[in-house]
Amino acid sequence: MPEVQEVMRARGVRTVALKKNQWLANAHANRARVTREIGELWLDENPKHGVLIAAGPSLAASLPELLALDRATHEIVCVDMALSFLVRNGLIPDYVICADASPEIAATLDVPLLEARVPLLLQVTADPETGKNWQGPVYWFVAMSNVKDGDAGQWMQAQHEKASGVSSFLVPGGNVGSLGLSFLAGVRACPRILLYGHDFCWKSPDVFYCGGDRQDLARKRLESEAAAGTTYATRDITGGAVSTNASLVNFASWYADIDRVFPGLLLQRTPTTILRTGGLPS
């Protein structure tokens, strides 16, 4: 769909132009908060499998399987939007990752009953209020986006590194889940990564996040995509009718590229998804 891709390209350019100064200001503001970096969590070898939990519609259906995982042999990273749902249902992740600069996402980290030991992985461009009440340790990182600020004549990751003083990097694929994958594969050296909640599609807008969580944010996101003309009907890997949008398809294509370059790294455990990687869920 070339016309949709052109909309996405133009949107990306506009987003960088509108937000780059705020991202840089956030990196400056967060400098005083930095006491740890994700490089401190580096492993050369890791016998555990990684588990990466996104906030897709199927997450509720996957909960019994997730709760049954052997925590001695699995390391769990969840994205910010999935945290509240998981904790309410008795699953405490090993790490939580957050990258968004918006105050709305910052609020997803204020979760009662979360154990103080759980580390937060936080991007330096996050809103300065993000994670202020986090009880556990906070490890900071810079996203190696390879986007150049034409006005400043500098790569944005270099600007953010200098502003924040953080020199630990994760490679993004467009969304926060991709940063979690980079963390598990690149920093924690997990030999295999199980994907949950990685639908990249939905059957009903009411279940967009975690099978029905945060419907306010879901509506806002889906309305924005619909207004841009990037939403369309497709089929998931089981042949079921679903909706998706160009943003989600672009995110999924990054995972597909990772699967192609590193065969066997990813195991798809999401029952309804458009991402065909690591074989169909059994």
Residue 216 lies in a domain: yes
Task: Report the range out of 8-17, 219-228, 241-250 with the highest average pLDDT.
Answer: 241-250
Q: Is the pTM of this model over 0.85?
A: yes
- Confidence (pLDDT) at 278: 67
d(CA 135, CA 157): 28
What is the predicted pLDDT for the residue at 281?
A: 44
Does 113 have pLDDT greater than 80?
A: no
Provide the token pair at 73. 């042999």
Going by C-alpha positions, the residue among 70, 99, 282 that lies closest to residue 177 is 99
What is the DSSP code (8-state) at residue 185?
I
Whether 281 is covered by a domain: the verdict is no
* pLDDT: which is higher, 153 or 165: 165
Strands (E), the chain: 49-53, 74-79, 95-98, 120-123, 138-143, 148-149, 154-155, 169-170, 193-196, 231-235, 241-245, 266-268
Task: Report which of 184, 210, 149 is spatially closest to residue 16, judged by C-alpha positions.
Answer: 149
In-domain check, residue 209: yes
Q: What is the pLDDT of residue 77?
A: 98
- In this prediction, residue 35 carries a pLDDT of 97
Percent of the chain scoring above 70 in pLDDT:
92
Indicate whether 62 belongs to any domain.
yes
pLDDT at 82: 96
Cα–Cα–Cα angle for 205, 5, 14, nearest 5°?
90
Name the pLDDT band for 11 (thresholds 50, 70, 90). very low
Identify the sign of the CA torsion 166, 131, 52, 171: negative
- Specify if 12 maps to a domain: yes
Contact of 23 with 154, CB cutoff 8 Å:
no
pLDDT band at 1 (very low <50, low <70, confident <90, very high): low
- Cα separation of 16 and 179, whole Å? 18
Residue 213: per-residue pLDDT:
87
pLDDT of residue 277: 80
pLDDT-derived band at 79, boundaries 50, 70, 90: very high
How many other C-beta atoms are found inside a 10 Å radius of the C-beta of residue 114?
Answer: 20
pLDDT over 50 at 282, yes or no: no
- For the segment 194-215, the average pLDDT, to the nearest whole number, is 91
- pLDDT band, residue 107 (cuts 50/70/90): confident
- Would you tell me the crossing angle of helices 246-261 and 2-30 to the nearest 10 degrees? 80
Taking residues 61-75, report their average pLDDT: 97
174 pLDDT more than 80: yes
- The whole-number average pLDDT for the span 245-253 is 93
Look at the chain and report how many structural domains it folds into. Answer: 1
Beta strands in 31-100, from DSSP E residues, in sequence order: 49-53, 74-79, 95-98
What pLDDT was estimated at residue 89? 95
- Which of 137, 78, 83, 69 has the alpha carbon at shortest distance from 113? 83
Does residue 15 have a pLDDT over 70? no
Q: Give percent of the chain above pLDDT 90.
A: 71
Q: Does any domain span residue 277?
A: no
> Above 80 in pLDDT, residue 92?
yes
Please determine, for residue 72, whether its predicted confidence score (pLDDT) is greater than 60.
Answer: yes
Mean pLDDT of the chain: 90
Work out the average pLDDT over 140-159. 88
Question: Whole domain around residue 27: which residue ranges?
Answer: 2-268
Looking at residue 125, the DSSP 8-state letter turns out to be T
Query: Does any domain span residue 275?
Result: no
Identify the helix (H) or strand (E) that includes residue 181. helix 176-182
Q: Is residue 280 part of a domain?
A: no
Q: Give 231's Cβ-side CA count (13 Å radius).
A: 15
* 3-state DSSP helix/strand/coil % of the chain, to nearest 5: 40, 20, 40
- The owner of tokens 């034409």 is 150
Average pLDDT for 225-245: 91
